[in-house]
Amino acid sequence: MFSVIMCSIDNRKYAAAEAHWRRHFAGVEHEIIRIADARSMCEGYNRAIKQSRGDVLIFAHDDVELLAPNFSELLTERLKQFDMLGVAGTTLLNGPRWVQAGLPHTVGQVAHADPQGNGYLVLIWAAADRVVGNVAAMDGLFLCAKRTLVEKVGFDEINFTGFHLYDLDFTFRASQVGFKLAVCTDLYPIHASLGSFGDAKWQQAAQTFLRKHQNSISPIAAPEGVFGWVRAGSKSQAVEAMTPPWW
């Protein structure tokens, strides 16, 4: 059984997201849990975990679509080998942003809606394979994890009291205690926003993360943002851009 969990205060976004997940899991046992009054992402997710009944838990933003046509089958098959799946991440973590590791460590691809309204910006960190294992940390726009992992690791609502870096902390701790993480590059994620980095709240969360994990993250310096990107005028073109010819 799949439990889809979202923290969402926007009724319009939530309605669209719920319909999206219902279509993906049509004919598959599932539940959708909405937290509309989360005090932080960690607090909201932890509250939803206690309510959930699924063997597999999905944590997703309310403005994310995944356009893989055989989505639930892919998750089911890949969870036989891995404990948690995402769509973007790194095999090495050297700071409070997973993209800081640069190539060859960063992996994944995500199409973000252009804030200027000009279609989509398809960010491609790497997609040599459809599934990449040995991942150290992942982005939280979409995470799919076995219940055993979630109950052991949990979200740190004591230290992360806002809506930033909850994902990096959660996924990094999971990898640190031996769970197997993987990035799936063929789920075709469409994200309606680019996210925000660098503001005061993000900086505060980043300092919290560094204090907590300073003895575990790699000191290796690497250039940030070493990746490719293309423009796409539609969702179908974005999917095409995220389908390399070598697949």
Query: In this predicted model, what pLDDT tens digit does every residue of 105-134 receive, in sequence order?
Result: 999 999 999 988 889 999 999 999 999 999
- Contact (CB, 8 A) for 188 and 120: no
Q: Is the peptide bond before 244 cis (omega within 30 degrees of 0)?
A: no
Nearest CA to 90 out of 126, 135, 132 is that of 135
The superfamily (CATH) of domain 2-241 is: Spore Coat Polysaccharide Biosynthesis Protein SpsA; Chain A (3.90.550.10)
Task: Inform me whether the pLDDT recorded for 49 exceeds 80.
Answer: yes
pLDDT at site 145: 98
Locus of tokens 């990449």: 132
Mean pLDDT of 214-242: 85
Question: From its phi and psi, is residue 108 left (phi > 0), alpha (psi between -120 and 50) or beta?
Answer: left
Q: Give 15-18 contacts, CB < 8 A, sequence gap 24+.
A: 17/60, 17/62, 17/63, 17/64
- Residue with the bigger pLDDT between 222 and 235: it is 235
Collapsing DSSP states into helix, strand and coil, what is residue 56?
Answer: strand
Which region among 34-48, 88-102, 148-162 has the lowest average model confidence (pLDDT)?
88-102
pLDDT at site 140: 97
Rounded Cα distance, 24 and 74, in Å = 11
pLDDT at site 117: 85
pLDDT at site 195: 67
Q: Is the peptide bond before 245 cis (omega within 30 degrees of 0)?
A: no
pLDDT at site 219: 77
User: Over the chain, what is the mean pLDDT?
Assistant: 94
pLDDT tens track for 168-181: 999 999 999 999 99
pLDDT at site 199: 84
Mean pLDDT of 89-94: 95
Locus of tokens 């250039």: 223
Residue type, 196: S
Nearest CA to 2 out of 74, 64, 88, 108 is that of 74
Helix or strand run (H / E) with residue 89 = strand 88-90
Rounded Cα distance, 111 and 109, in Å = 7
pLDDT at site 75: 98
Rounded Cα distance, 122 and 232, in Å = 7
As a whole-number percent, the residues of the chain with pLDDT over 70 amount to 96
Q: Give counts: helices (H), strands (E), the chain.
A: 7, 14
Task: Inform me whether the pLDDT recorded for 194 exceeds 80.
Answer: no
